């Protein structure tokens, strides 16, 4: 039995944000198991300062307060209308406005912790793009700080509803699969591809600084074959498990495939090439792979995907 899934979706007053809401509504409208909370962190207009700077009297100040309040309300009204117009059930939509909000990312994380939202979402770009050409400032903060949540970063120019599931040889891949089944298995007509890029051989299997004799060469090749088989078997087991779960959820068997390939240009770039050449609109990837990356708590592959992926929704699983 499916349980209701709650998504906290951060919006702002940009057209890009409205488009991102519309795109997600289109993806989720055919499932009855979602509830979306639209969150708007309204900036502090600093009315006392404006009043003094502009020489406003009490009457003008009250009028300005009403205008600001109306603007805050309109942002959420427009976002809700966009979500409803996309086909999403209006009864499954809630709205929250945080006034005098100087840090929307922090407020979203605080609200998620207090109310138990497991998944956060927002558009890839926001209104403040001067500092970040590829990612809005709120999105930039969330992808590096929301390490205990799953995060959807949505470019509203989603090219398709097909799903690429990036697997690595680590436990995070099972969580990635669980998220795909729980949140995306209602996309019955979509392609689901479990995709894995085999990394280079670890140092212990590199050639020594001397020429190996025939026996040593054979032993080294057997060790490499054994390592490759064990690594691929672990990934295949996760993919098989995921395929069974998707089929049990109603996805046609012919829509689920598994693809594995050796690294060519680099794991992140190989994933990007697969995305672009086969027209996937949704990427699901783990926050970290088999190695712990200290940089902002975000794995290097996920970091590169977020900065270089386009025309898709990227789901970064904690």
CB 258 within 8 A of CB 191: no
Query: Long-range contact list for 106-112, CB < 8 A, 24+ apart?
Result: 106/141, 107/39, 107/41, 108/8, 108/10, 108/39, 108/41, 108/138, 108/142, 109/142, 109/145, 109/146, 109/149, 111/8, 111/39, 112/8, 112/146, 112/149
Q: Is 197 exposed, middle or buried (0-12, 13-18, 19+ CB in 10 A)?
A: buried
Spell out the residues 6+ positions from residue 207 whose beta carbon is closer than 8 angstroms to its own: 220
Spell out the residues 6+ positions from residue 304 whose beta carbon is closer than 8 angstroms to its own: 268, 269, 272
Extract the tokens encoding 225: 């074959």
Extract the tokens encoding 169: 């040889």
How confident is the chain (318 residues) per 10-residue block, as mean pLDDT? Answer: 82 90 93 92 63 58 55 86 95 90 90 94 62 57 83 88 86 90 94 88 55 67 64 86 95 95 86 92 79 44 68 88
Rounded to two decimals, the pTM is 0.81
Question: What local confidence, expressed as pLDDT, does residue 212 receive?
Answer: 65
| DSSP class per residue in 244-309 | HHHHHTT--GGGEEEEEEE-SS-HHHHHHHHHHHTT-SEEEEESS-SS---GGG--HHHHHHHHH-
Q: Domains, the chain, ranges and CATH? A: 1-156 (3.40.50.620), 158-318 (3.40.50.620)
**At CA 84, angle to CA 127 and CA 81, rounded to 5?**
50
Residue 151: CB atoms within 10 Å: 23
């Amino acid at each position: 039995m499916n349980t209701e899934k709650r998504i906290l979706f951060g919006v702002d007053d940009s057209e890009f944000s409205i488009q991102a809401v519309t795109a997600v509504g289109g993806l989720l409208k055919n499932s009855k198991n979602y509830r979306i909370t639209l969150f708007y962190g309204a900036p502090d207009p600093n009315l006392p300062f404006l009043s003094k700077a502009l020489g406003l009297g009490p009457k003008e100040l009250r009028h300005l307060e009403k205008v600001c309040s109306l603007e805050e309300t309109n942002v959420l009204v427009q976002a809700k209308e966009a979500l409803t117009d996309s086909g999403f059930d209006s009864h499954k939509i809630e709205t929250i406005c945080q006034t005098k909000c100087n840090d929307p990312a922090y407020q979203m994380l605080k609200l998620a912790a207090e109310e138990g939202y497991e998944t956060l979402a927002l558009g890839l770009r926001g209104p403040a793009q001067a500092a970040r050409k590829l990612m809005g400032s709120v999105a930039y903060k969330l992808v590096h700080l929301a390490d205990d949540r799953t995060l959807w970063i949505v470019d509203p120019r989603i090219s398709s509803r097909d799903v690429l599931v990036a697997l690595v040889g680590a436990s995070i891949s099972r969580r990635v699969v669980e998220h795909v089944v729980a949140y995306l298995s209602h996309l019955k007509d979509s392609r689901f591809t479990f995709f894995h890029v085999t990394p280079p051989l670890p140092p212990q299997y590199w050639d020594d600084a001397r020429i190996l004799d025939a026996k040593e060469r054979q032993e080294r090749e057997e060790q490499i074959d054994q390592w490759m088989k064990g690594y691929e078997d672990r990934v295949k087991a996760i993919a098989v498990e995921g395929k069974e779960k998707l089929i049990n959820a109603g996805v046609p068997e012919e829509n689920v495939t598994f693809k594995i390939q050796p690294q060519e240009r680099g794991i992140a770039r190989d994933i990007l090439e697969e995305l672009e050449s086969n027209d996937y609109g949704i990427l699901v990837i783990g926050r970290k792979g088999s190695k712990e990356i200290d940089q902002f708590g975000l794995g290097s592959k996920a970091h590169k995907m977020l900065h270089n992926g386009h025309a898709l929704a990227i789901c970064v699983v904690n």
